[in-house]
């Protein structure tokens, strides 16, 4: 069973529908107990970092996520979920979960032709291999919608990057945690491949 963390951060049903399509059993849940006991956890989200953190804390989900990560349960972060696993975010100037040391700044671009949010399909360049990225070619495109991006402190936590005037991290990971800034559930067959890989991943990276 895959638990999808429900903290009122956008539409979680699209992740659930993708898992259903793949024949994977999952449950959208706001219950910290269910998160702690799940085989795997998906931490999605769209919205505002500071209000998302407030919701997580109010439901006791911040501690549940920290414990789940510490216990070695495979965790997949998506979009806002990927941003708030870092130590802090510029969005609402908030402290975040700190599962990976780092910060989430807003894009500051000089090219006026480039729009913020960064919306659409961008190519993802793999910097290293990861079990959850098996079958994904470096340079494949995925669907993004975001204005802030995850910047881990340790370069070792960066699995893949994209380019939008600047090069920025788009897949980050540490031990049993892997997280994508893009939406695998909205990225066609390549995205479904990542979800399917995650459902088989035991959380080890070598």
Residues that bind other proteins (CB under 8 A): 10-11, 13-14, 17-18, 20-21, 46-47, 112-123, 141, 143-145, 163-164, 183, 185-192
Task: Verify whether residue 146 is a known catalytic residue.
Answer: no
Q: Which of 91, 118, 146, 185 is catalytic?
A: 185
H or E segment at 69?
helix 61-70
Q: Which of 62, 54, 50 is nearest to 93 (CA)?
A: 50
Q: Which of 67, 109, 105 is nearest to 181 (CA)?
A: 105
Phi, psi of 9 (to 5 degrees): -115, 80
Q: Judged by CB, which is closer to other proteins: 93, or 111?
A: 111
Beta-carbon contacts of 201 under 8 Å, excluding residues fewer than 6 positions away, are: 40, 74, 131, 132, 178
Q: Which of 118, 130, 146, 183 is catalytic?
A: 183
CB of 96 to other proteins, least distance (A): 19
Task: Verify whether residue 183 is a known catalytic residue.
Answer: yes
**Radius of gyration of the CA atoms of the chain, in A:** 15
Q: Judged by CB, which is closer to other proteins: 8, or 175?
A: 8
Q: Judged by CB, which is closer to other proteins: 91, or 100?
A: 91
Q: Judged by CB, which is closer to other proteins: 73, or 187?
A: 187
Q: Which of 79, 96, 104, 157 is catalytic?
A: 79
CB of 144 to other proteins, least distance (A): 8
Instruction: Determine the Cα–Cα distance for residues 77 and 141; give it in Å rounded to an integer.
Output: 18
Active site residues per annotation:
79, 183, 185
């Amino acid at each position: 069973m895959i638990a999808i963390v429900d903290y009122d951060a956008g539409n979680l049903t699209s992740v659930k529908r993708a898992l259903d399509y793949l024949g994977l059993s999952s449950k959208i849940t706001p219950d910290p107990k269910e998160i702690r006991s799940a085989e795997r956890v998906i931490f999605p989200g769209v919205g505002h970092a500071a209000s998302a953190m407030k919701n997580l804390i109010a439901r006791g989900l911040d501690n549940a996520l920290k414990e789940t990560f510490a216990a070695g349960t495979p965790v997949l972060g998506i979009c806002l979920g990927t941003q708030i696993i870092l130590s802090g975010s510029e969005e609402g100037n908030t402290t975040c979960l700190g599962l990976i040391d780092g910060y989430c700044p807003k894009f500051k671009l000089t090219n006026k032709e480039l729009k913020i949010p960064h919306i659409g399909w961008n190519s993802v360049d793999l910097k290293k291999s990861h079990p959850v990225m098996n079958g994904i070619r470096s340079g494949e495109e995925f669907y993004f919608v975001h204005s802030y991006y995850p910047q881990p402190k340790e370069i070792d936590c960066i699995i893949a990057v994209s380019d939008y005037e600047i090069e920025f991290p788009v897949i980050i990971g540490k031990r049993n945690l892997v997280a994508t800034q893009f939406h695998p559930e909205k990225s066609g067959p390549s995205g479904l491949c990542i979800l399917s890989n995650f459902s088989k991943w035991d959380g080890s990276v070598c």
